[in-house]
Structure 1
């Protein structure tokens, strides 16, 4: 490893160029920078974080959910007190201890019917992503197609694992399946092997876009035709603003092309850090032995986190039991809250930027059918410098979109998240944002 020559009396420093190349990637600095800006301007109203509201959290619920889970083991499953204690205090099953409850919940909420053994419980959805990428991408030519703009947790994980990526441009309704097909063909023409597509089909982070039912069905046809796997990440699907929920890709999957990545961060307890992946694909070994992809992911997990916290799983398990394994119904109040927040955000943008003013300034935004996010197009460079100016002088924070694009783009776009604010804060925040945008537009000559 490269090292720099130390000054007298100082320890030798490590040379960044001698560490993994991903550590020099600006995208990996993006979240740290955003957190640092938030910390420096605590009085600024923040449209930056995509975290859930804390309005319904109660600390006493943690103990209650834990008790519900232990009572389930003792009364429903007939476990002894010693066995329950071992379940909670010891290392547990690598693939998780609440996989059966998750499978039941997926069947009730999403119409996804899979064996519990195909569910791997992970330390957040980010670990699920890392396990899947590590398992599927075996050769240098294996390429991950990603919707662009794309959640940086996915592209960041791929960079850490030295996985080649190809962006698929996103439209108003998410990635066009024909653009995915074109990306597959271009990858092959360049000598790559299109292995999988990462996608958030419902209210995507960062764009808020959602795929139509027809597009979902066509994408599955292309996946079967082109031998492409789909990594479906679905943290926001419950939070519909208009219309009705659309079926997940996994619910429509008939050929086991879809690996479904999930998390309880938005629908239950973000602090528990419990996620999962449904990996029901069959794997055939060199001697003809058969297993589930979930079993192969278990091997990787045993070398990373070993297992997901049994205590965190038990708390989430108790919450699932308490809800009758019907999280969509249990989230009715949260769904209404996020719907109202997104409606408030859209209404305030309309109020501050009516059509004529919008056109004169060169400002526009999309109108997602649900979720936490929307994107505003502005007539100036929406970069880190502009963000700091916005925080310092106007008291409002947002997220630059350029970090979400693979290979460039989004320089004059910003993401707004309304999930962790109250309606009154959204109203005041948009007022501050409108003043910032107006001042920046004037400086840019609009």
Structure 2
């Protein structure tokens, strides 16, 4: 009997959505042109990792369990068995948040997730109850949140950033527009610090205004901030640390600050949930219920490695990442310096090229006078040996067709210098052709 052939049109529409193809295309280009220098991956620099470090971190956590009075059997169970769905290192994460971020929440309000990506999925599924609910996102935005929304058939409304960053007035207008259409805005997703993909940072006054707006319009803010502790200097306060009304669901990740292979993130969800009988729980409890049907629990080994690193640094991720933050800051400055050398002010004015100058994070954006699409990316890799990311990937409602994202985190100083020179030649060539 002939094996069945599935029609793609009979599968969920998300598998045909371009958002879900973006990373696959970048990976394909990278593998096809292995000698190209890639400004595409938003990864930590490999030079900071030592294979033996994992064993040291896990041992530090096991010693901590002994110090807490755990028996040999307790430790075996903690490491080898299915762990608590909400996570087994919540107290350690809560201590770290108090020490480093001035976020003072009980451990019970934290859910440990498989990276921040799972946290996004859980929050989306919990908050969006029906077809008339809408989830707002700052645009351009990380494709992980819009991709997860697509998987769940959740309506997304983009609030496009201006050249100088996010505007609360634009968000308020979007909220009012959605309500006029009979829909219920539930929450607003934003990366306040050195955002992916644009590199912008929300100023202190806008943070305060955003919290006031959320209270006035009765919506939640979903704060995702993975780059603040791998950036030089003292960061502005998180939205969650300023939150006095439990308006902010804070998403965290240890992928950039400890290592991505652990696949450990978390959600701080201390909002109260009341059922019809008047019984009160935390939103974190509801997220844990959903997680029990998605991943059951987060890897005990991954949690142990992360916990060991946190314990060794007394919860201060900022101190743990002092060297990394300096490296990433230098890489960003080196990229900007080389761009300026290769495309000086006069020349880029002639071409119509400009870029922003973030103060931290992994990314910066370059505006170009030609269409920066997949075809242009392929030419860049094939003819000039340099890879980048089209910004159009990050606009949920379309846009960014003449903008490029450069990621500076994964490269050495020599690769940055050579890569920027190749990129400048590509920009010159495409500009002439256009």
Show structure 1 runs of 4+ deviating over 6 A.
none
Alignment of 1:290 with 2:286, yes or no, is no
Query: Quick check: 1:99 aligned with 2:99?
Result: no
Match of 2:364?
A: 374
Of 122, 133, 136, which residue of structure 2 is paired with 1:131?
Answer: 122
- Across the two proteins, how many residue pairs are aligned to each other? 434
Asked if structure 2 preserves the Cα contact closer than 8 Å seen for 1:173 and 1:212, the reply is: no
Whole-Å separation in 2 of the counterparts to 1:140 and 1:71 = 49
Match for residue 55 of structure 1? Answer: 47
Look up the SS of the partner of 2:334 in the other structure: helix
Give the TM-score taking structure 2 as reference length: 0.99
C-alpha separation in 2, matches of 1:71 and 1:27: 44
The SS at the match of 1:244 is coil
Aligned 8 A contact 2:230 2:256 in 1: no
2:8 is aligned, of 7, 16, 19, to 16
Q: What is the TM-score with the length of structure 1 in the denominator?
A: 0.96
- Provide the rounded CA distance (Å) in 2 between the counterparts of 1:135 and 1:46: 37
Aligned to 1:33: 25
Summarize deviations over 1:371-427 as a string: whole Å, max 9, x none: 000000111111111101100110000000111102110011110000000111101
Q: How far apart, CA to CA, are the structure 1 residues paired with 2:51 and 2:162?
A: 41
Equivalent residues in 2 for 1:184-203, closer than 5 Å: 184-203=175-194
Q: Secondary structure at the match of 1:174?
A: coil
How far apart, CA to CA, are the structure 2 residues paired with 1:302 and 1:269? 25
Distance in 2, Cα, partners of 1:328 & 1:103: 15
Is the contact made by 2:103 and 2:241 (CA closer than 8 Å) also made in structure 1?
yes
C-alpha offsets along residues 272-318 of structure 1, whole Å, 9 cap, x if unaligned? 00000000001111111111111111110111100001111011111
How far the C-alpha of 1:10 sits from its partner, in A, is 4.5
Deviations 1:56-106 (A, max 9, x none): 10010111111110010002x011111111110001111000001101111
- Which structure 2 residue ranges, 5 or more long, are not aligned? none
Q: Is the 8 A contact 2:197 2:394 kept in 1?
A: yes
> Contact conserved, 1:172 with 1:209, CA < 8 A, in 2?
no
Do the aligned partners of 2:230 and 2:257 also contact (CA within 8 Å) in 1? no
Residue 389 of structure 1 pairs with residue 374 of structure 2: no
Tell me by how many angstroms 1:173 deviates.
Answer: 4.5
| Separation in 2, partners of 1:404, 1:347 | 26
Q: Which runs of 5+ in 1 are unaligned?
A: 1-8
Q: 2:261 aligns with which of 271, 279, 283?
A: 271
Q: Distance in 1 between matches of 2:25 and 2:312?
A: 39
Query: What is the aligned-residue RMSD (CA, Å)?
Result: 0.9
- Partners in 2 of 1:212 and 1:311 — Cα distance? 38
Alignment of 1:73-84 (within 5 A): 73-75=65-67, 77-84=68-75
